[in-house]
Every structure is written in C-alpha cells, then in structure tokens.
Amino acid sequence: MKRLITFEALNVLKSEALARLLRQERLYAIELGSVLIVAPDLEETRANYTPQRITACRIGGDEDRRHDIVVPPSPLQHVLETLATTMKRDATVDAAIMQDSREYGYELRNVTTAEALQVVCLAAHVAVRDEGSALAFTRNAAP
C-alpha cells in the first residue's frame, strides 16, 4: 500500500528531521549497513528486527564490491533465487514461499549482494540457512 507523506523540517539536522518524521508517522527504522529499513512501528515489526534475526539473515560471501541493486516487482521465490544466483549459489525455497503470490520489489543502494539478500530476507520474513554452495530459504512462523 502506497501513501503520500508530507513533512517539512527547517533548520534541523537530518538525523533530527528523520526522528521527527518517524515519530509523526509512527514508523520504526533500523539501519543495516547502508540500508535504512522503515516500517510501521508495531510490536511485530520490532520483533522481526531483533539482533538475533538480523544475525540469522546474514549470509557469508566474499564479495566486497558495493553497487546498486534494483529488483523489479517479482514473486518472492524469483527474487531470492536471483540474488542467490548472483552470489553463485543454488537456492531452495519452501512451499510457503513458492505459494506466495505477492510481488516484492526493491531498490537498494551501495550494498553487496549478501547485504541485499539479508535485507530482503528480513523485510519478507524469510529465514535463510547458508549451506555453502546453496542457500535454503524458509518462511518464518512470525507474521
């Protein structure tokens, strides 16, 4: 669901303007590397972005090159498989992910592919297990 937010802040630091905007719109933000994830400030949202979940979604990779990654709206299975393939890994997805008919699109700036995959997994509530040459994706039990 898209909605337009109008906000004005004069003579304040960017960090203070962001904090005000988040409070005004009841949003929660967490920074992962160079990516700022913003979501509704709900208990379920905060539960999804705990340090344990963030660590669990971290993927090993030897790529250190940062670039922009734009994923056009696509089924989640396709997004996960495409990012895994970019990392030269096979991907397996569970039945819940294969049946998810929603489309996910992302624009991530100045990230490695491993960081992009971490962000996608967190935002889509997907757990990932790094099996070396393959990545196994499962839908979390949490919403």
Mean pLDDT score, 73-101: 93
pLDDT tops 50 at residue 142: no
Q: When comparing pLDDT for 107 and 61, which is higher? A: 107
Number of domains present in the structure of the chain = 1
Mean pLDDT score, 85-111: 91
> What is d(CA 74, CA 106) in angstroms, rounded to the nearest whole number?
10
The whole domain housing 37 covers: 1-143
In this predicted structure, what is the pLDDT of residue 81?
94
User: Measured between alpha carbons, how far is residue 25 from residues 3, 16, 18, 31, 115 in Å?
Assistant: 11, 14, 11, 18, 27
Mean pLDDT score, 13-27: 89
Query: pLDDT class for 123, splitting at 50, 70, 90?
Result: confident
In this predicted structure, what is the pLDDT of residue 138?
92
Total Cβ atoms within 10 A of residue 48: 22
Total Cβ atoms within 10 A of residue 26: 9
Q: What is the pTM of this model?
A: 0.73
Mean pLDDT score, 110-132: 89
pLDDT tops 90 at residue 106: no
6: CATH? 3.55.50.30
Percent of the chain whose pLDDT exceeds 70: 92
3-state secondary structure (DSSP) of residue 72: strand
